[in-house]
Amino acid sequence: MSLILDVRNLRVELPTPRGMLQAVRGIDLQVNRGEMLCLVGESGCGKSMTSLALMGLLPAKARRSADRLAFCGEDLLTMNERQLNGIRGARMSMIFQEPMTSLNPSFTLGDQLCEALLAHRKTSRAQASERAVYLLERAGVPQASDRLRQYPHQLSGGLRQRVMIAMALMCGPELIIADEPTTALDVTIQAQILRLIRELQQEFGTAVVFITHDLGVVARIADRVSVMYAGQVVESAPVQQLYGQPTHPYTQGLLGCIPVRGKTEPGSRLQAIPGVVPSLIGAVEGCAFYNRCPQARQACLSTPALLPHAGQAAHAVRCVQAHGGDQLRAAA
């Protein structure tokens, strides 16, 4: 497989009245062509900031740095705005969390769908409209040709999200970043959208970075999973391995919060990870999960690295216990 996205030590800092907020703290991500990588974690862990950093859409005062940020071998860090605009929408696309605030209420859906194709490809308006209708139909939008004349407010939330998916595919991108695209939808529509994204991703051979806070969603669509906590990836593995052998206590806690049919008693209290995420303003020393971890030891006060677990290169964990359990037991 060829590497589409290569990210090494990505950091994002945001100025606040109390100091610099370390929103993303040294993330590594690699995504291959045609692969679905799911980025999972609680709200506020830095997932959306990571997606905006990848697309170059961070707030004006945010600071982005990385040892490497490459798309198809091209260095995104050295590109100017004109060069980035030539990639965004054409070769890299994004599906945002809330389509009603992402779609322009003043323009028809046809205008918005065709805009990127007309800007990036030498094509006529008729050809662009034809592709828009085709992708709307593939995205499960009924009466697709009629929708081109409609405005966003005339569609339901589920249909608007399908339009956003079709829009992301207009130029045949090599990479799509989907930032919690099912959060605002009911469970039935959510399942349909997830199935649609996976089917279209496999049909078009597009690489996808799918961002969500729901590990239950991930099992249905992911090839690989990276679990984020407090601005860092704490565990990364192929999806079956992550669910079969969750190693980081945070990953174990997230999986333990998912209700299981036949095991979770009806009406019983849902599980939750106790405690709160630490402040990311200023330097963060040691393991960020220390104050919430049921397995915390003195050695956890040292800053852990993301290392292969048990000699498995595809399964990496940021936990001193995963790599030095014998020493920890001796110290305890």
What proportion of the chain, given as a percentage, has pLDDT over 70? 97
Model-level pTM?
0.90
**So what's the pLDDT on residue 326?**
38
**So what's the pLDDT on residue 324?**
67
Question: By three-state DSSP, how is residue 10 classified?
Answer: strand
Task: Give the Cα separation of 193 and 171 in Å (integer).
Answer: 20
- Strands 19-32 and 3-16 turn out to be antiparallel
**So what's the pLDDT on residue 327?**
35
Residue 15 has pLDDT above 80, yes or no: yes
Grade residue 303 by pLDDT with cuts at 50, 70 and 90: confident
**So what's the pLDDT on residue 43?**
86
What pLDDT digit, counting tens, does each position of 216-235 carry? 888 889 999 999 999 999 99
Average pLDDT for the chain: 90
Grade residue 1 by pLDDT with cuts at 50, 70 and 90: low
Residue 330 has pLDDT above 60, yes or no: no
What pLDDT digit, counting tens, does each position of 250-299 carry? 999 999 888 777 777 787 887 888 888 889 998 888 999 999 999 888 88
Residue 329 has pLDDT above 60, yes or no: no
Task: Give the Cα separation of 45 and 288 in Å (integer).
Answer: 11
The candidate with the shortest Cα–Cα distance to 56, out of 102, 101, 89, 34, is: 89
**So what's the pLDDT on residue 3?**
93
**So what's the pLDDT on residue 194?**
87
Rounded to 10°, the helix 125-138/109-120 angle is: 120
Q: Rg of the chain over CA atoms, in angstroms?
A: 21
Task: Name residues whose C-beta falls within 8 Å of residue 47's C-beta, 6 or more positions apart in sequence.
Answer: 39, 40, 41, 179, 180, 211, 212, 213, 228
Task: Give the Cα separation of 110 and 62 in Å (integer).
Answer: 34
Mean pLDDT of 58-74: 95
Distances (CA, A) of 113 to 125, 288, 301: 11, 42, 51
Residue 332 has pLDDT above 50, yes or no: no
